[in-house]
């Protein structure tokens, strides 16, 4: 596909991305938390833009926003594409919003050039993915897929004591024209920045995601005995911090031995009483462990638990490990991934198959429909930061790949019930 072809839709996408970035709370970067005024204005803006583009614009009961391009085959099935609209505090303008802007732009472009598709295409801006305001994640796609049933809204509060239910009721987007969960989605495609450094370091334009890693998160508490730092002999101590430090280093050694793609991190550490002249009596810390294979993830977690128990016994401290999150790996659809690779070859783009170490809405859709993810590079691997950046030409490349796949899914004849055609035309070279 020539640069002249992509120029118009790419410029439109960049314009929409910039418009979305303006809907932010004061401060560095972009802060757009679920059910805040900034969030509501951004979702309403998308509804307006979708309607102006000739798409059927609507929202559901939790605030997911859609733009529908209705197909001529009214079989009730939908090919969905998009991402999330919310951000972390002081985040960047590309995470989530890029996939949203690209999805709405792609459908408008396909409609203007090719008219109605055979199969209905929809762009979605999911209400929430990050968990930045309330202590749960994937509220938008979780309601679409049935992971949540809506009753959870009364159980979660933000830092100000506002319940999710109260915040949601204060941010209604007019008449809701869809209910959740949905059973009509036949395929889902998500375009996203990598949020890592692999594509940039390897010089690749496109990442074709093979799987999203599974995660285990633990809250670990080590209890020893707080005592005087000057009068307690080294051999008679029950030092919670020394024990915790050995545990964390042992986990790191085990992770290095396990090798890629496994990663293990301690991100939070709280020491009590945290006084210079007192032996720490209690330490609380977190574990974040990720792998793309369930069996490997389980085996590693078991080895960590065993190692921690051995250290605790030897150092005479009490150990408590509470599992806080258990998310299974989410393989992407092999057929759609193969189509993405073929598109990259047709367009003359470099690409690589890769595992996503970050969570995405796609992992909730993957068990329920054919799902694919497309990555573009992140400069310096930086994300969740005002410094988050991807050059416009790389954003345009991702859009071009997305448009090509949506054309195949929406417009071409198929012997496989409405998804990928057996004979691919050389339309996107």
Which residues make up each annotated binding site for allantoate? 217, 277, 290
- The answer to whether the beta carbons of residues 75 and 410 sit under 8 Å apart is no
**What is the Cα–Cα distance from 62 to 284, expressed in whole angstroms?**
35
Cβ contacts of 205 within 8 Å, gap of 6 or more: 199, 344, 349, 350, 351, 376, 377, 394, 397
**Residue 363 in 3-state DSSP?**
helix
Q: What is the CA radius of gyration of the chain?
A: 24
**Residue 226 in 3-state DSSP?**
coil
Looking at residue 380, the DSSP 8-state letter turns out to be G
The residue assigned the tokens 């994300």 is 383
Burial of 223-234, coded b for 16+ CB within 10 Å and e otherwise, reads: bbbbbeeeebee
Cβ contacts of 11 within 8 Å, gap of 6 or more: none
Closest by CA position to 16, among listed 95, 121, 98, 138: 98
**What is the Cα–Cα distance from 226 to 274, expressed in whole angstroms?**
10
Burial of 29-56, coded b for 16+ CB within 10 Å and e otherwise, reads: bbbbbbbbebbbebbbbbbebbeebebe
**What is the Cα–Cα distance from 217 to 204, expressed in whole angstroms?**
31
Binding site membership for Zn(2+): which residues? 84, 95, 130, 192, 384
Binding site membership: which residues? 84, 95, 130, 192, 217, 277, 290, 384
**283 - beta bridge partners?**
222, 271
């Amino acid at each position: 596909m020539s640069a002249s072809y992509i120029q118009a839709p790419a410029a439109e996408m960049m314009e929409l991305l910039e418009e979305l970035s303006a809907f932010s709370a004061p401060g560095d970067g972009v802060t757009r938390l679920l059910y805040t005024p900034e969030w509501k204005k951004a979702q309403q803006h998308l509804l307006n833009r979708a309607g102006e583009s000739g798409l059927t614009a609507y929202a559901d009961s939790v605030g997911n926003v859609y733009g529908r391009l209705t197909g001529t085959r009214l079989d009730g099935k939908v090919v969905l594409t998009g991402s999330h609209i919310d951000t972390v505090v002081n985040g960047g303008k590309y995470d989530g919003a890029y996939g949203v802007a690209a999805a709405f732009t792609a459908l408008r472009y396909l409609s203007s050039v090719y008219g109605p598709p055979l199969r209905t295409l929809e762009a979605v801006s999911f209400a929430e993915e990050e968990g930045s305001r309330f202590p749960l994640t994937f509220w938008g796609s979780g309601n679409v897929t049935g992971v949540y049933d809506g009753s959870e809204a009364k159980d979660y509060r933000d830092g100000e004591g506002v319940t999710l239910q109260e915040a949601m009721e204060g941010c209604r987007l007019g008449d809701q024209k869809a209910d959740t969960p949905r059973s009509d989605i036949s395929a889902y495609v998500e375009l996203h920045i990598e949020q890592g450094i692999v594509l940039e370091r390897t010089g690749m334009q496109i990442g074709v995601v093979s799987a999203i890693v599974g995660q285990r998160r633990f809250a670990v508490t080590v209890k020893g005995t707080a005592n005087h730092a000057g009068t307690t002999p080294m051999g008679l101590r029950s030092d919670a911090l020394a024990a915790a430090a050995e545990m964390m280093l042992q986990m790191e050694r085990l992770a290095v031995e396990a090798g890629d793609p496994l990663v293990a991190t301690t991100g939070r550490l709280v020491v009590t009483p945290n006084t210079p002249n007192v032996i720490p009596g209690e330490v609380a810390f977190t574990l974040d462990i990720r792998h793309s294979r369930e069996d490997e993830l389980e085996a590693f977690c078991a080895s960590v638990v065993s190692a921690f128990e051995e250290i605790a016994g030897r150092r005479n401290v009490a150990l408590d490990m509470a599992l806080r999150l258990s998310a299974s790996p989410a393989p992407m659809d092999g057929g759609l991934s193969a189509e993405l690779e073929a598109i990259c070859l047709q367009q003359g783009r470099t690409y690589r198959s890769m595992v996503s170490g970050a969570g995405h809405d796609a992992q909730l859709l993957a068990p329920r429909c054919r799902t694919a993810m497309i990555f573009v590079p992140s400069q310096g691997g930086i994300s969740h930061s005002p410094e988050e950046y991807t050059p416009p030409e790389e954003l345009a490349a991702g859009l071009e790949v997305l448009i090509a796949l949506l054309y195949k899914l929406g417009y071409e004849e198929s012997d496989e019930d409405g998804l990928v055609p057996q004979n691919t035309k050389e339309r996107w070279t």
